[in-house]
């Protein structure tokens, strides 16, 4: 009997010790997934700079390249630059016609010439806890653009000449930069602002020469400058570094 009681006592003691070593682990799957997603997001924004190309700006006559560089946990500087071509996209002006006194007309063709543009902007990323170059941002931008174009008189009376359009733009942009992989980003943006424009255009004119009893043809220079409301937008494809 004593042996039976002793055996039961030893069994209870061992069971109690083993029971104390047992642990119950509860896994919160939603929290686990959030942590994994957060780690992936952090990995995607390790880049401190981005080289960009904006394909839709070709509609405005620009071959648009850009470079964005982190300067703090919440801000960056972006510079854009490239050539302009006057006869691509919406930058093409209508051809000009001039009706002379003899009832015929001279046809002036606008030909493409290269120009350039340069812009710079400061970006602030307010909503991503220091994950600069990622997520929502606001950005004031200033830009200068020169569009040149050649003018050719088909009648052959005049040598070729050129016109131009120069713009100084200020806009307040907002956008969202999304990383679709560790090195590849898509930057969607839009904005509003003001643009100061200055145009130089030319048209064929003629005047009657009483000495030769013929008409003398010449280029008549016209200028215009003014301020207009500006709306901008597009998408930039980026490679991070």
Across the chain, the runs of DSSP E, i.e. the strands, are 49-54, 64-70, 75-85, 96-99, 105-112, 114-124, 135-153, 161-179, 184-209, 214-240
pLDDT of residue 205: 85
Structure tokens at 108: 């002036």
> How confident is the model over 222-240, as pLDDT tens digits?
888 999 999 999 999 999 9
Q: Which domains does the chain have, with CATH numbers?
A: 47-240 (2.40.160)
pLDDT tens digits in sequence order for the chain, 241 residues long: 555 555 555 555 554 544 555 555 555 666 656 655 555 544 446 789 999 999 999 988 899 999 999 999 899 999 999 999 887 766 544 444 444 444 445 577 788 889 999 999 999 999 866 678 999 999 999 999 999 988 888 778 889 899 899 999 999 999 999 999 889 999 999 999 999 999 888 888 888 888 888 888 888 888 889 999 999 999 999 999 8
Stated as kind and residue range, the H or E segment containing 16 is: helix 2-21
Q: Cα 184–235–48 angle (5° rounding)?
A: 40
HEC assignment per residue over 67-92: EEEECCCCEEEEEEEEEEECCCHHHC
Residue linked to tokens 């200020």: 170
pTM of full prediction above 0.75: no
Q: What is the Cα–Cα distance from 65 to 26, expressed in whole angstroms?
A: 51
């Amino acid at each position: 009997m004593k042996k039976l009681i002793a055996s039961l006592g030893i069994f209870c003691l061992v069971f109690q010790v083993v029971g104390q070593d047992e642990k119950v682990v509860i896994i919160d799957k939603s929290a686990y997934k959030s942590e994994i997603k957060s780690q992936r997001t952090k990995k995607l924004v390790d880049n401190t700079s981005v080289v960009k190309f904006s394909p839709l700006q070709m509609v405005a006559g620009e071959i648009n390249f850009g470079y964005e560089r982190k300067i703090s946990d919440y801000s960056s500087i972006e510079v854009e630059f490239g050539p302009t071509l006057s006869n691509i996209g919406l930058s093409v002006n209508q051809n000009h016609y001039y009706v002379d006194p003899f009832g015929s007309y001279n046809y002036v063709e606008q030909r493409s010439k290269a120009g350039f543009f340069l812009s710079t902007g400061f970006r602030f990323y307010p909503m991503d806890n220091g994950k600069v170059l990622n997520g929502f941002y606001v950005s004031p931008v200033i830009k200068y653009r020169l569009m040149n174009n050649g003018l050719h008189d088909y009648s052959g009376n005049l040598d070729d000449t050129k016109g131009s359009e120069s713009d100084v733009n200020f806009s307040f942009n907002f956008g969202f930069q999304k990383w679709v992989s560790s090195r590849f980003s898509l930057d969607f943006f839009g904005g509003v602002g003001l643009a100061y424009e200055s145009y130089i255009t030319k048209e064929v004119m003629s005047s009657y020469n009483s000495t030769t009893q013929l008409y003398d043809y010449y280029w008549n220079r016209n200028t215009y400058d003014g301020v207009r409301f500006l709306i901008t937008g597009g998408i930039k494809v980026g490679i991070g570094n």
